Every structure is written in structure tokens, then in C-alpha cells.
Structure 1
Amino acid sequence: MSLGVVMLIHTALNRAEQVARHWAAAGCPVVIHADTNVSPKAYNRFVASVKDQPLIQFSKRHRCEWGTWGIVAATISASEQMLREFPDVRHVYLASGSCLPLRPVSELIQYLEDRPTTDFIESATTADVPWTVGGLDAERFTLRFPFAWKRQRRLFDGYVRLQRRLGMKRKMPHGIVPHMGSQWWCLTRKTLKDILESPDRPDYDQFFKRVWIPDESYFQTLSRLYSQDIQSRSLTLSKFDFQGKPHIFYDDHLQLLRRSDCFVARKIWHHADRLYKAFLTDAEHAMKRAEPNPAKIDRIFSRATDRRTRGRPGLYMHSRFPNAKWDNGLTGAPYSVFQGFAELFDDFEPWLHRMTGAKVHGHIYAPDGAVFSGRQKVVNGALPASAAIRDYRPQAFLTNLIWNARGEKQCFQFGPMDVQDITEVLVKDANANISVISGAWAIRLFRTNADFATKRAEAARLQRIESTFIDLLRDPATKARVDIWTMADFVESPVEPLQAIVDGLAASNMRRLSELPRMVDLTGFGEFLQTLKNQGMHPYLMGDFPADPAPQAASRGAKRKPYVVTK
């Protein structure tokens, strides 16, 4: 019996019995510590159930509250009994009731016999530990923690703040250097005995009783004083998520656990019947010999953590609502936003669809409701055109539109007459391609029959709105791809920007334009702008638009000769 097992249990006693019998059947003595939270009735029934196994014993019981000294006290009591009752044990393996041997115990025994002086315990200084969660690393040793974090949280936090304010710091007993690591270790008899029988142990115990989570530092620190050969790793596969909570293994993790080649894994769900049946078996059906290598499955856990914290770009759901620090993309796919094009060209939407095959919507943020392509009332994902629903969550409306139709290029129109609550989202979205013909909104005013005083007031309002949006687009922090033309410049030479837009949307089938969209009749538009100026409203966003005559060729939709710009 070269290997002994100390087992800490507090729940799922039926599984603990099953695993303890598995260890004992391989010739390993087992000393079990049961938390005092386990009822006397359940504890006595458990003790009676294993009376037929002389290799299974029970140690003095302690209250084991997370983060407190009780877990270390339980480990010490069980370890002392192991060394006292089983003098032939050369290695002591610390396990929990939710630990499950993955390989034949005989292989673990042989592995340890080949390394008779090696201690397997994760042990690193606080400066080298990247996994501490909760803001306390070195402070867990320099401050005092008499209160339980889970049960007395307000007292815990308040006392920490008080000690920080007063500058209180504890001295390390006998000049020890604190180390941290996994609670689950395998120590040689000599190292464990030296720790437990050290003449300085009363000082160490007194110090660690006020350390936070001492089970991750007591043996990890003291083993450095007495061990001849430390391998700073645990033989137990134990994974933690980004919040510091342990991953729980279920039945569908069977192949993953086999791939790890580890001797023991925790935490196993106590209802994972398939795992217990697969691993608590004879050597013939167990995993084959291999060096334990949990790194083989680290990539899977890293991907799971990344998916949990960052999610998929543009996907929002109840299990991962948007978090500014975690989110890795506002929307799920690239899309295009056009401002002023539908006003300047009568048939811009159908023309762009013919040229690129993209789904081209109208003004989806129009005050009366979304104008979807084909004037549909409901689109992919049961997204309705309702203005009330859209305006309740303008960003969610956009992200749903893009996510539900991913794989198909989405385009929509936008302008100063639309609901502006989405503008800051658009400029922050790296998936957005925003093309703006500034001042084109004036065409719609020009073509209405309202009195001129009304037009002037509306023009001033719309220009302020568009000016604010353009300022956002030109901000250095903007992530969207932005192209801005004044209306005068665009009307003068529309082919090149239209060609660039088509090439961007139909990159797999690039071709020169064979037709242009039909530009609206701009006869008299220059005079309209001049009249606005005469009335004291300066329409500067249109650029230097000639007052008279309007550009005749463009206004009648005459064909322009396409030209190629070579790079």
C-alpha cells in the first residue's frame, strides 16, 4: 500500500462511497473527513455502509466553510490519521468526494513509485499567480480575515477596508515566502510528516488561521520548506472559469476527460452515471498509459471561456446580455448605410439590388415605422416594422436585423428625418459602412408644396441634425467606415462613388457599371437653396451648389460615360 487517499466530503455521500471503495479495492487506504454540516443520521449511515472495508477510516470532523481554516484543519486531521494508521503509505493523495479516478489506480501507484521523492503540488508565489479572482492576492497574507466571505460578507468587506485604511500588515512567521496553488495535491510521506511535525507548526497554524482561502496556500507554502523535489502541478484535473468557479463535468464530457490522460478529475456531477460507470471499471476498459497532460484540453476550455465572456459578434440573448467590457462586436455581419441616396435617385433601392444582389431596405428608422425591402411588414426573425417596438430598443432592432439575415448583405437608408437614437451605435460599429451625401435631404423639402416659411424652419432643423451626425462620423473614435460627399460634388461626378459602392457590396462579382440610377430632376433646386440663403438660413451642407442653372445632364438622368480609375 504505497498510496493513501485523504478524501474530503460534504455531499453526495453515495458517490463518495462508490469512489472510496474503488480506491480501497486497489489496495489504497482511505481516510475520509465528513463536514460537520453532514447530518449525524446521514453520517452514521455512511460509516455503517463501509464497515466491511478495513482500508476505509474516518477522521475527526470539522466545520468546513469555504475560504476558512476549517478545510485545512480537516486535511491535517485526516493526514495525521493516515500517517499514524498506515505506516506503509509513501504518498498521500488529497481528493474530494466529487473527484473521480480516470485511469486504473495501479497506474497511479506505479507512476508514484517511479518518483518516490517527488511532491506533486501546485506552488507559486503570489507575484507569479495569474488566476486569483476577487482582488486579493498578496493581501490575503498581509491582512487578517476572521470573517467568512460567504456567510458574513458585509463584515468581511468592512474589515478589509478598515485594515487598508489603517495600513495594517501582518509579518510572515519565520520569514516564509507565501505560495499559492491548487488545493488538490499528492505529497510524499516525508514531506507531509515534516510539515505536520515541524516545531514551528503552531506559529504557522496561528498565521494561516487568519489567511483568506488557506487551503490554497498552507501546504503550498510549507512544502517549499521541506520538500526535496517539487513538481509544481497537480495530478488532479481541475478547471476553473473566468470567475474562479470550478467547471463541473457531466456525462457529455466523457471523451474530453479521456483525452486529458489525467489520473483524477474534479468536479464530477453526482448524477453523471455514464462517467462513473465508464471510469470506475477494471484496468482492461480504463484509459491507456500516458503522461498526464491537461494542456491537451486547455484549448477547449479557453474557447468555452471566450464564448461565454465575449459571445458571438452581434448575438444577444438572455444568457449573455450586452456587456461593454466583454462584447466583441455590436452586429453580426457587415452592412451598409446610405444617407441622401434615396433622395437624390428615384430608383436607388431597386437599382442597387440589381447591381449587387444585396437586400436593400428603405428608411428602417422612419418615424412612422421601418420600411423593409419589398415593403414587407415582418422580416427574418419575426422582426416587425412597428415603430413602437423598434424605438423601444433601437440598437436591438438593428442587431436583430443583421443577425437574422446574416449571409445576405444588408443595406438601409438613413437621414436626418429619421429617429436619431441609433447614430452613436452606427459610428461605433466596425461592421457599418456609412455613405453620406450631405444636404440631400433638402431635395425632399424642395419637392413639397409647403409654404416657404415652413420649409425654411424645417431646413434649419434637418441641417442641425445632419451636422451633428457628420461630426460623430468624423470623430477619431469612430470605428465605422465612412464616406462623405457634399451634394454638389456628388452630382458633378456620381460614377466613381457609385462604382466604389457597388464594388464593396459585390466584391465577388466586380464589374463596371452599365447603368446609373435615375437622378431626380434638380431644375430650380439651386434657386431654392439661394432663396433659403436670402431668408437668412445658410444651407452649407450641400456644398457649392450653383444657383442657376441646375446641372442639366444630371437632372434629366442623361447617360454619363463611365470611366475607369486605375491604381
Structure 2
Amino acid sequence: MTLGVGIVMLVHTALDRAEQVARHWAKAGCPVVIHVDKSVPRRAHDAFRKALADVEDLRFSRRHRCEWGSWGLVAATQDASALMLRDFAEVRHVYLASGSCLPLRPVAELAAYLAERPKTDFIESATTADVPWTIGGLEEERFTLLFPFSWRRQRFLFDRFVDLQRRVRFKRKMPNGIVPHMGSQWWCLTRQTLSAILEDPERKTYDRYFSRVWIPDESYFQTLARQYSPRIESRSLTLSKFDFQGKPHIFYDDHLQLLKRSDCFVARKIWPKADRLYDAFMGPHAEDQHRDEPSPGKIDRIFARAVERRTRGRPGLYMHSRFPNYGWENGQTAEKYSVFQGFDALFRDFDLWLARTTGCQVHGHLFAPARAEFANGQPVIQGALSDAAGLRDMNPKAFLTNFTWNLRGERQCFQFSPADTQKIVPHFGTDPNAQVSIISGAWAVPLFRSNRNFGELRAEAALYQQIEAKMLEELRKPHVKARVRAWTMAEFIEAPMEPLQTIIDEIGQTTGRRLTEAPVMEDLTGFGQFLQNLKNQGMHPYLMGDFPIDPSPEAKPKRRRKKPYLVS
């Protein structure tokens, strides 16, 4: 008994599976017309035809070479559809499928569904202006330019010819003023609409035009159906999903429950070796399944999450699918971290005080010239991250990314100075997870306390000041996303509790308590004179701010203050 549905199959690979599916359609009462890609070897083609010779309502159409994005796909569909309409007069709907398509529901349900909608064409059809589906390709230009070269085999000629047409402002006009539409290649059209397209007196004009359109199988029937169909539902009855690059998703055995939830009639692309899927949907128990209205939207959320995971991933985790592409990272680092410059130079045992006050893990100078100074002197931390400076400096950004990822779950703090590797500074600035606190000029305190030749100190101070000035300039650029705070040394020591409290509050490890203990500041007696000596030698230490010569602010005889930052 004929169900009124004819199946056109485009086959180019996995001929054994195509034979199985064709028999399934024919056994259910659907006439089948098969087009075999001309690129399939003659021996394989003949064996395929011989294997299906016993199927009564099955035909093979004239073969075309069906390269992706070429006119051959449309020509193959035209010939197969014309043969279907000619040999099977009882067919009311023609369903276009591929050899990798799999019926998900009993064929009788599809036939009943279409019988209730005898004048409805199911074909995805939308203008490029309304729905920008194209990914990494052409939109309106696919209809206005010529495309005589293969995008896959002749990519260089394809791109150069497109550029040439743009330069000379070449532009084709749509024949008879029709409006181009695009959509899925897989449609189900009524006999009336399909015959009107194939028998149109202007068909040669349309064929000539679309034969030079890029990817015409996604626009030929989608455009012309709008000219003749009394009713179009702009959707495909075939479930097909595409990734963010426009490539079709392949369904495997572990997608069984997902395909069942979709309630769609047909799905593509199915992996040829997915035995579980073929047995489940074309086996003897498939008829027992009760299905509702086709609703691929039920699984769209799952695919959307999969695409997001592949393109964005988890914060601070670089994957093979995203690593080579700049800007594809979902956050440069996994968690928030704090960078302190000048604090360990100005305060004694600042790292111990900070760890005790915040409960964070506090490291030394991660980017010190000799080694990465991990907390507690560890040579290797979680994730087998070594303290070797050579490994770190090959890619400082990747080192910091691995550092925050391996130690995620706990706030990390570390020291920095002008003597450290500076290649990481631009990364600090563009990382929203970074909290950078700087006491500019504090690097001079260790120089002041060292017992070295003043000429050496002057040269080193000039170098450090130049490096720190560049760092501050980098961290003040408009594109900076880090939380950056900078104080001159002079203004910081006037009232250090306020900035320290602000930093601790922002770290957020404590519950808003006021600081009751401050780190012990180094003895700065004579530091002002040291800076004056630098000036006298021709080096202007401007990053320290307006620092008094002597005595230091903490040593001046004045009323004792109650703030607990006094030097003991």
C-alpha cells in the first residue's frame, strides 16, 4: 500500500547503510528514488544497484558529481525528483533525504502527519537579511557574484576571483526580480509545488543563474518554493544540527535518548557504525514508541550548552579547540588573584602578615629572575607546575594561567617588583581577575638598606624607576580591565592603614572586620637623605612622591598616634 510519500535519497558513502534505510522506506510503502554520487566507483555503484534489484518501487536516477557547495547537488535533486513524479503518480509529498539519514519514527506516522497537511510545504526558507545563518562565509554576495571555482579544491582561485569582482564592483541581478531565500537542504515538498518548480517555463533561466550561486542547494528550492507554494512552514522535518563552524553534528550510539526526545521524523548525520541507533529506530520494537509533535527545540538547549562549552569553556581553562584562537578564552585566568608591588620592600615579613590577616595563600615573587617563589618554598605545586625560571619565562602568560587554574578554589597572592620578569605586565592589565596594588618607588628601600657602592645603587635605581614607570603607564591604558591601585611611597606612609584596609576588604576573605594589626614598616631613618643623594648624582627619583629629606615621617618628634603602624 502506497502511503503518498516518496523518498528521494542522495547517496555518496556508506552504501550498506543506505541500502538498509532504502529497504526500510520501501517496506513501509514509500517509493524510493536514489541518486548515487558520480564520484562513487563504478564497481561499488553496480554492486549497490544489484543489492536493491529486488525492491519493486525503487529507482535510480541519472548520476551527477555532487561536490559540496556545487550545482551538482541541485541537478541530482532535480533529476531524482522528476523521476519520482513521473513514475509514481500516487505520491503527494516528496521527502528529500540522504544516505546518512535515519528515520526516527514509524514511516506510517510521517505519512499520516503529511496527509493531514496536504497543501503544506516543509522547507526552511528565510532571507539572508532576516536570519544571518552563514558562518564564516558570504551572505548577499553569494547571490550577486559569480562562483565558477570550487571553494574546497580551488580555494586560492575562489578567493582571488571574489576579490576581483569586489574591486570592479561586479554585481548580478536576480532573474525576474525574485527574492533569494536560504535554508536547510533537506525539505519535504508537495507534488504541486515541486512540479511547478521543475516545469516552470523560466527554469532554464533560474538554473543558469543558480548554477553560479555559492552553495545553491541551500537556496535554489528555498527561493523558488516561495513563488509557487500556497503554504510554507519554514522548518525542516529532518533533525540536523550544526556546530559553531557550520559543520554538521554527527550522531553516535550515545545520542539515542537525545534523538528520542526530539520526536523528529528523520535525523542526520548518523555515524555508519552506530548499530545501536539503527537497531533502535528501525528494529521490530520501533513501532511501539508513542511520539508527539516534532520538536527539535527540546534538545536545542543541550546543543547550545555544548557549543558554549566548546567555544567558551570554563574560566581560565584553555582547550585544544580554542587555544590557537585569540579572544576565544573564557576569561584569561580561572580565579581572582592579587599582585603586590613594593609592599614586601616597605614592610617586614609582609607575606606572613598578609597570609595571617586574609587566610589567602601568599607566595613570594612568582616572576623573580632565579625561580618562581611559591609559598613555603615549594619547588613544584599542584598540576606539576615547576618553579624553574626557564620554563616559566618561555610563556609567562601560560604560567600564570596554569598557576591560577591549578590552585583554584583559594585566593592567591604574590609579590612583584621591577626586578621581576616584566613580560607578564600587559597580561595583568587585561585580566579582570587581577587586583594589582603598587607602592611606587618602594623598590628603593632595599637599595637604601644595602651596603653597596653608591654608583651601583644609582644605576640600579635609575633602571628600576624606568621599568616601574613603564609598568604604571601600561596599567593606566584605557583597555585595562584589572583593578589597579597605585600610591606613591610618600603618600602611602602618611596613612598606610586606609589603603591596607581597602585592599583587604577587596580581597574579601574576611567578614568586613577592621584591621587591628599592621605589618611592621622598615626603619626609614635616613631614607630621605638617600633620595636627595640620588638627586645630587643626577637621578631624579620622582616615583616616590614628595618625600621629606630627614628625619623620616615616622621618626619626627610629634604627638604619638594611636594607629598601629609605628615602627618598633
- The reply to whether TM is greater than 0.5 is yes
Matches within 5 A, 1:325-364: 325-364=327-366
The CA distance in 2 between the partners of 1:543 and 1:322, in whole Å, is: 44
- 1:445 alignment partner in structure 2: 447
- 1:27 alignment partner in structure 2: 29
Count of matched residue positions in the alignment of Structure 1 and Structure 2: 561
Structure 1 residue 142, shift from structure 2 partner: 1.7
The CA distance in 1 between the partners of 2:33 and 2:287, in whole Å, is: 27
The CA distance in 2 between the partners of 1:23 and 1:544, in whole Å, is: 88
The amino acid that maps onto 1:115 is R
The CA distance in 2 between the partners of 1:7 and 1:267, in whole Å, is: 13
Greater Cα offset, 330-339 or 510-519: 510-519
Matches within 5 A, 1:75-224: 75-224=77-226
The amino acid that maps onto 1:217 is S
Structure 1 residue 23, shift from structure 2 partner: 1.2
The amino acid that maps onto 2:499 is P
8 A contact 2:120–2:233 mirrored in 1 = yes
Deviations 1:20-41 (A, max 9, x none): 1111121111111110111111
Structure 2: unaligned runs, 5 residues or longer: none
- 1:495 alignment partner in structure 2: 497
The amino acid that maps onto 1:198 is D
The CA distance in 2 between the partners of 1:153 and 1:495, in whole Å, is: 65
Structure 1 residue 554, shift from structure 2 partner: 10
The amino acid that maps onto 1:155 is L
Residue in structure 2 matching 1:466, options 465, 468, 492: 468
Deviations 1:179-208 (A, max 9, x none): 111100000011111111112112211221
The CA distance in 1 between the partners of 2:362 and 2:270, in whole Å, is: 52
8 A contact 2:345–2:445 mirrored in 1 = yes
Deviations 1:517-539 (A, max 9, x none): 22222222122112112222221
The amino acid that maps onto 1:185 is W
Local SS of the residue matching 2:428? helix
8 A contact 2:9–2:34 mirrored in 1 = yes
The CA distance in 1 between the partners of 2:411 and 2:469, in whole Å, is: 28
- 2:394 alignment partner in structure 1: 392
Distance 1:121 1:286, change over 3 A: farther
Matches within 5 A, 1:28-47: 28-47=30-49
Distance 1:181 1:139, change over 3 A: same
The CA distance in 1 between the partners of 2:379 and 2:562, in whole Å, is: 37
8 A contact 2:488–2:543 mirrored in 1 = yes
1:485 to 2:492 alignment: no
Local SS of the residue matching 1:541? helix
Identical columns (%): 66
Structure 1 residue 334, shift from structure 2 partner: 0.4
The amino acid that maps onto 1:267 is K
Deviations 1:255-308 (A, max 9, x none): 222222211111111111221122113465664221112122222222222222
The CA distance in 2 between the partners of 1:107 and 1:385, in whole Å, is: 66
Structure 1 residue 55, shift from structure 2 partner: 2.3
The amino acid that maps onto 1:526 is G
- 1:62 alignment partner in structure 2: 64
- 1:378 alignment partner in structure 2: 380
The CA distance in 2 between the partners of 1:341 and 1:447, in whole Å, is: 15
Structure 1 residue 552, shift from structure 2 partner: 3.6
The CA distance in 2 between the partners of 1:86 and 1:177, in whole Å, is: 32
- 1:289 alignment partner in structure 2: 291
Local SS of the residue matching 1:92? strand
Deviations 1:436-494 (A, max 9, x none): 11111001101111111111111111111111111222222211001111112222212
Distance 1:236 1:553, change over 3 A: farther
Greater Cα offset, 443-452 or 304-313: 304-313
8 A contact 1:145–1:156 mirrored in 2 = yes
The CA distance in 2 between the partners of 1:282 and 1:554, in whole Å, is: 96
- 2:14 alignment partner in structure 1: 12
8 A contact 2:102–2:268 mirrored in 1 = yes
The CA distance in 1 between the partners of 2:88 and 2:319, in whole Å, is: 55
Structure 1 residue 158, shift from structure 2 partner: 2.5
The amino acid that maps onto 1:309 is T
Deviations 1:328-368 (A, max 9, x none): 31111100000011111111111111111211010111111
- 1:435 alignment partner in structure 2: 437
Distance 1:562 1:448, change over 3 A: closer
Greater Cα offset, 100-109 or 390-399: 100-109
Structure 1 residue 72, shift from structure 2 partner: 0.7
The amino acid that maps onto 1:516 is A
The CA distance in 2 between the partners of 1:535 and 1:443, in whole Å, is: 18
The amino acid that maps onto 2:68 is W
8 A contact 2:210–2:216 mirrored in 1 = yes
8 A contact 2:103–2:282 mirrored in 1 = yes
Local SS of the residue matching 1:257? helix
Task: Provide TM-score, normalisation by structure 2.
Answer: 0.95
Residue in structure 1 matching 2:545, options 536, 539, 543: 543
8 A contact 2:121–2:188 mirrored in 1 = yes
The amino acid that maps onto 1:34 is V
The CA distance in 2 between the partners of 1:328 and 1:560, in whole Å, is: 47
Structure 1 residue 559, shift from structure 2 partner: 9.2
Matches within 5 A, 1:242-257: 242-257=244-259
Local SS of the residue matching 1:400? helix
Greater Cα offset, 398-407 or 312-321: 312-321
The CA distance in 2 between the partners of 1:501 and 1:142, in whole Å, is: 60
8 A contact 1:491–1:554 mirrored in 2 = no
Deviations 1:99-147 (A, max 9, x none): 1111111111111011000000011122223111344222222222222
Structure 1 residue 162, shift from structure 2 partner: 2.5
The CA distance in 2 between the partners of 1:168 and 1:548, in whole Å, is: 79
The CA distance in 2 between the partners of 1:126 and 1:368, in whole Å, is: 58
The amino acid that maps onto 1:432 is A
Structure 1 residue 553, shift from structure 2 partner: 6.3
Greater Cα offset, 262-271 or 430-439: 262-271
The CA distance in 2 between the partners of 1:554 and 1:301, in whole Å, is: 69
Greater Cα offset, 242-251 or 115-124: 242-251
8 A contact 1:357–1:506 mirrored in 2 = no
- 1:527 alignment partner in structure 2: 529
